[in-house]
Each structure stands twice: as C-alpha cells, then as structure tokens.
Structure 1
C-alpha cells in the first residue's frame, strides 16, 4: 500500500493540479471490503483541484474477484456560507461536454421532463452533463429486469421515461438542467471563461433550517428558525466601542484549508435602499492608484473585454484598482487548473492567456476600457481623485433593484413591519435613549 509522502503533507502540497508529468504523484491505495462479493478489493484516493472551484477527493474502488467497481468524489473543503444553484440551458451537443462537480447534497432537476434526483440519493460525482444523464439512465435501468417480472406496467412506464432521457443526448430540442446544492460545493464549467456564459445562470441562496440539519450544521432537534437561540444583541455603548476596533474571525484558508484568520472586507452597514453602479473610464495609468472598496455583493464588468465577474467571486476587498485587477487575473489565469495538464485545450489556454495579457495592458495604461462596479447592496466605493469636484471620467448611478435581485440578497423574506410598529409605539424618551 502506498501513501502520500510525509514530505508532501508537511510542505502543504496535499492537493495538486493534475498534469501530464505527475508520475510521482500516485493515488493512495487502501485495501477494503467489496460490498458486492464481500472479498477484499482496492480503494484508490486522489487529492486534486477542480478549476474555478476547490479541492476534492476522488475515490475509486475495484474488486479483482467479482470485477465490481465504483467511483465517487467528496469535497475536501468546508461547507460554503451560502448554497449555490446552477441553471444551464442545454442548446447544443457541445454543452453535454461541460465538466460538472455534483456533490452528494445536490438536487438535480430537468423541468421539461419533471425529473428530479433528490439530495443524498447519489454519491458525489466528477463528470460531464452527458455523464450525469448516463448515470440517471443507469440508475433507472438497474432494477428493470425485476420490474418486468413483478410489475410489467411500471417497468413499461419507466422504460418510456428512460428513452426520453436518452433522447436528450441528441439535443434535438433545448432543455434545462438545474443543480441546486445547499453546501455550495457543486460546480458547472463555463467553457467561455473569462467571458460571461449566456447559457448558464449562477445564483446563491440562504439555506433553510432543514438543509442545515441535512448537512450536519444543526442538531436534528434544532428546528427553531425564529432566532430564539441567537446571541443577545450588543448594547449601544458596546457598539460604539467596537467601531474603532479591528475584529478578527477564525476561518479556514481557501488554499490549504488550514485554520487562519479572516483577511476579507465585509460591509458593516445595512443594505442600501438602492443598488449602485460605478463606471470608470480608464484613460491613464494613474487610475490604477485609485482606492477601491468592493463588497461581496458587487459584480465587476469590463465591457470591452466582454468580461463579467459575479459577486462573491473574489470576496470583499479594500485595495487599489491595480490590486483588484491583479486579483482578477490570478483568479482567471494563474489559479486556473484548466490551463495546465490533462484538463487543458489549446483554444482554452490561448483564450485565457490573451485575457491575462489584456489585463496587463489595462494596468500599464495601454488599453482604453471602462471598469464597472455593480453592487446590488450599494456598499461599494471607487475613489474620486478630483474630489470635491465631480470626476469627469466616473459616473455613479443609483438604481432600483428587481425582485430577482432582492431575492438574491435575501431581502424578500425579511419582515420588518412588526419591528417598525413596535418602534412607533415607543415613548419619545425611549427613542432618544435607543
């Protein structure tokens, strides 16, 4: 049995990008029991990374006695702060080749067929859209022999549905694939990166209490969603004392998953009544020194590059415009395993390399582009170097959020009417004290 060497673990290089020259990085092999014939087989574990995603553990079991085999993936990262939902409009056969990470906590739906795979009924998988369809077909066909003998009518209906699933692979008609994962650890590839994927909608959502229980984040008997178990709010004088302090929260490093402290900027204010869209026309290298406060609810757009970065992709940051552009380049190019090893293609590598060169030209002042910060919560900022005079190269636009945008921020479910009524009933002296 081989194991991951102590040197690699000690060096922090446990999760590695898969490449063609990684012959020395062998999977861990463990002798384990075959659940088919109950003799010994071999489980192989490989710790690797997924592009635009995070670390995963790929496991494969094979039995030399009965030839039974099985593969699955498990997320090696922490459960994310929010759930994630991918809605893909499959229009061509090329869409079937998109790579997919489906965690075991994810629900898969095809609305056109009223088909749904509930969470925790399948193990996690690293596959493609076509692979997910094949897996669904294989699951339905598994007990068809028994059904034909015992319940022929049911078997006939299931066979008809199987044929519909198989026909989807011909993509004669467009269909929708939805992967909704409360753990936030599923993923669908954007083959057009760094450009926006018009066929793919990615949204994040707040988990329900039931979903927290399913993920093991709450006890089974903890179904209180009224906030009774929340800590008591700090008094007004405590809040005054906290305003001039830097608060440090424990978390896990997004690179190696080791314990660390937060280095991310989060807004301490309320969500504004309107969203804010800030557009800067970059005309000079000195624009790179402008201060930028990008909240985690802010998207970044560069229209000339047909580039859009969704909110929370690089988290909240207080930096300069140059620093933010370098972070974007690192995310799209430097830290993207799709441009190296077996996952790479010539077109993809060239496209992403060209994008990185264009970002460098913007930083050097060699490209005339517009840089847009679009913050649904209205909590982002870009420095006006002409203050207090208006900035001739920058526009700030306030806009009313749509219902869908409020839903993305979790505002539609917030109820403040009772609080407002209670506040109106307070005596004038109590309001001044408050």
Structure 2
C-alpha cells in the first residue's frame, strides 16, 4: 500500500488548524482495496486540529470502478477526564442544521421514538442532526428488500419506523437528541454561542470500570472500582489540624487509570470561609487537574456577586469559583454553566484566561467560516480586550450554594465596585444540588 505523499515528521506539524484559508491541509493519499468490488480504490487522510478533539483524522475512500465511497472521523486527541451526556431539544427544522461531532464511543438516542444508535453501529462522524437521521434511515432501508421476502411482518414494522424518522427529518416536529459519550469527545453545536443555549444541556459523569475497559483505560481483568481512602478533615470541635499541612493520598488517574498521588490543603480565605484545594499530577500520562471544594456545608441561600472591572488592578483580585457557580459577562452576552469550568482558586485574569481557553479548546466550531464560528472568533477577540483591561466590563458569579468569592480590595470597608445579593434558591436549583430529597431530621 503506497502513499502518494510524505507523512510529516512530527505530530504537531502533521495536524493543521481547521480553516477555510488554510491551503496546506496535510492531505495524505493511499491506495487501498475496495471491499465491494475488490479493486483498487483511493483513501484520503486529512489531519485536522479541532480544538475540542485536539486533533482528528478524517478519512475518505472512493473506488473509481464501482463508485463505492465512505468517510470516517477518528479522534487523535486524548480522552477527556469525564464522560458527557448532551441533551438537545430539536424544536424546528433549523435545529437540524446543528453540527455534531460524534465520537465512535458515543451512543445516540431519541427518547420519543425509543430509538438508539449504539456506538458499535456507526463510526465517528462530523455531521449534522439531519445527517445523523438520514444515515439511520439509510441503514434501516439497506436490508428492507430481504426482510420483505423473508420476514414481511418485520418489514412492515420497520417501514413504519422509517416513516417516523422521515417525519422528524422533514417537518418541524419536536424531539430530543441525546448523545452519551464516555470519552467526553462528542459535541453538539451551540448556534447562540457564546450565550447559553436554552435548548441544550450538558451533564458530566465518572466512567464505570466497564467503560474504561472499552476505551482501553483499564485492564481487561479489572473487576471493581479501586477503593478511595477515607480522609479525616478538620472539624471545628478539634481533631487533626490540617490547616498548615499538605496531605497526600493515593488515587487513580481519570485518564489512564494508573495509580498516582493527590495533594490536598485546607486554606482559610480572609473574610470568607475555609476551602479545600486538591491537585493531581499523573506521572504516567501527564494529566494535571486541580479542584476546589468548600470546607463547609450547604448554605441556606444562593449568592450573586457582581464586580465592575474598571482598572487593571481589578484583574489581580482573588477569585474562588465553585463547581456550582455560573459565570456571566453581560457586555459580551456570555453565560457559562457551573460545569463549564471546574472549581478553582485563581484571579479575575486567570478566570478570564480559563474562559478563553474553554472557548478555543473545548469548542470544535470556533474555527472555520460559518456564521457561528465568526461570532465565536469575535467573542474571543473581545474577551482578549477584557483580559488586558482595555475595556470596562462586568463579571457576575452566580452560585446557588454561595461557595464562591471575589476579593474585596477595600476590606474591611465596602468595595465600591463589588456587590453581592443573597437569594432564595429555586426548586430546580435545589434539585441540582440534591437538596430536595435530602432528609436531615427524624430519619432512621
């Protein structure tokens, strides 16, 4: 099997940024056997950088003899720390044009039809919601002539189901598309980015041992989840004092499932509360992560903190953002959910840099020439001006659990640029925090 071009020397030069202006696409062609007619065809490989995937390989096969053709998308990037479930409400035909990056480990379901596309049935694709429906229809139609002659009753049932899929594809009938990807490398386009998409939600989860086996992150003979050691945290009444110590304990890496060490320290934030900072660095795969947890329980009310950034010194303010806290910048019409950026203790500038990184590296549709991509590129440019403090802006942290904090530069006096508002949580917010079903009195 000969290649018509020379593969580039290293991985960084092999993968080109996805762009309409990029002419050096790193296209590689190889001669390959057609499985349909067993003649020689051509497979073309395109090595592309999509920020969310880091890198992907797009392959396209074409046979000039029987005109057989197919294409495939494979991730060449790392598996994400957690799996993701993306739920998209398709309300009209324009939603069918949303682009979808589907990893080959992802399962797609349409609950209204009790329809599921398992990961083994289709390979990774870069398509649209309409394209996914059309591909499913084509797959069901493929064996219909055989079913008609051998199993007429099954043929009729599948014909009815195909008609339902066609209705979703060609009308404004509403339905729900759910993408469940243990690798975390699937994505559905947000046409309103950088604003929040009211029709789409994300939830993240820790992979099971079986899912890690499927992704090649755990040995085939692994049977149970590794036990996590219990850590005694400091209490107001006494016990072990960890406030001036860094505690290390053994954990397993979320990416490669190898043993590593997590360092933990309890930090008291002046005029706020205690927090627990945990940092992990995997020597095996190089994965680094850090987390900030509240050292106290659930607060009775939520809190919204508003900072008017008018001076470069405002960028140096300490910021604690919890996992439940959303971030909003009204001037940029930007809102992110709590899970978009993990809990962390940083500065205003550091938080903005993380937002910029999230927009560039975790959104596969920021590059290219579509309207959405243009909006996101302009947003990142405007965000860059905020990071340099060349324009005033407002930073809002909305935390239903009131575990987030922005430093008061005038403490203990009131800060003219900083305000906070405590509010009663909604039922939905309590549900997300798991408080509606929590019983703390009169239980046995």
**Structure 2 partner of 1:125:** 125
Segment drifting more, 323-332 vs 238-247: 238-247
Kept in 2, the 8 Å contact 1:82–1:182? The answer is: yes
After TM superposition, the structure 1 = structure 2 runs for residues 397-408 of structure 1, keeping only pairs within 5 Å, are 397=422
| Residue 129 (structure 1) shift | 0.6
User: What is the rounded CA distance, in whole Å, between the counterparts of 1:362 and 1:15 in structure 2?
Assistant: 29
1:282 maps onto 2:308 in alignment? yes
| Residue 353 (structure 1) shift | 1.6
1:309 maps onto 2:333 in alignment? no
**Structure 2 partner of 1:249:** 281
Distance 1:223 1:265, change over 3 A: closer
**Structure 2 partner of 1:106:** 106
Flag structure 2 segments of 5+ consecutive residues without an equivalent: 234-239, 248-263, 266-276
After TM superposition, the structure 1 = structure 2 runs for residues 62-211 of structure 1, keeping only pairs within 5 Å, are 62-211=62-211
Distance 1:380 1:76, change over 3 A: farther
Flag structure 1 segments of 5+ consecutive residues without an equivalent: 253-258, 422-434
User: What is the rounded CA distance, in whole Å, between the counterparts of 1:302 and 1:166 in structure 2?
Assistant: 41
Distance 1:47 1:3, change over 3 A: same
CA displacement, residues 354-389 of structure 1 (integer Å, 9 cap, x when unaligned): 6733762686374453x2224567654321212234
Kindly tell me the number of residue pairs found equivalent between the two proteins.
402
Distance 1:298 1:283, change over 3 A: closer
TM (norm. structure 2) is 0.76
1:5 maps onto 2:34 in alignment? no
**Structure 1 partner of 2:261:** none
Candidates 306, 316, 327, aligned match of 1:300: 327
**Structure 2 partner of 1:394:** 419
RMSD: 3.8
CA displacement, residues 130-174 of structure 1 (integer Å, 9 cap, x when unaligned): 100001001100101111111112111111111111111223321
**Structure 2 partner of 1:349:** 374
TM (norm. structure 1) is 0.78
Segment drifting more, 158-167 vs 291-300: 291-300
Segment drifting more, 184-193 vs 88-97: 88-97
Distance 1:327 1:233, change over 3 A: closer
| Residue 231 (structure 1) shift | 6.3
Q: Which has the higher contact order (CA 8 A, sep 6+)?
A: 1
User: What is the rounded CA distance, in whole Å, between the counterparts of 1:143 and 1:105 in structure 2?
Assistant: 24
Give the number of the structure whose residues are more often strand, by fraction: 2
Segment drifting more, 381-390 vs 142-151: 381-390
Kept in 1, the 8 Å contact 2:103–2:185? The answer is: yes
Kept in 1, the 8 Å contact 2:105–2:182? The answer is: yes
User: What is the rounded CA distance, in whole Å, between the counterparts of 1:318 and 1:356 in structure 2?
Assistant: 25
Distance 1:265 1:129, change over 3 A: same
Segment drifting more, 326-335 vs 378-387: 326-335
User: What is the rounded CA distance, in whole Å, between the counterparts of 2:392 and 2:348 in structure 1?
Assistant: 15
| Residue 24 (structure 1) shift | 2.8
1:325 maps onto 2:322 in alignment? no
Kept in 2, the 8 Å contact 1:329–1:356? The answer is: no
Distance 1:51 1:362, change over 3 A: closer
Segment drifting more, 162-171 vs 355-364: 355-364
Kept in 1, the 8 Å contact 2:33–2:41? The answer is: yes
Candidates 376, 381, 393, aligned match of 2:405: 381
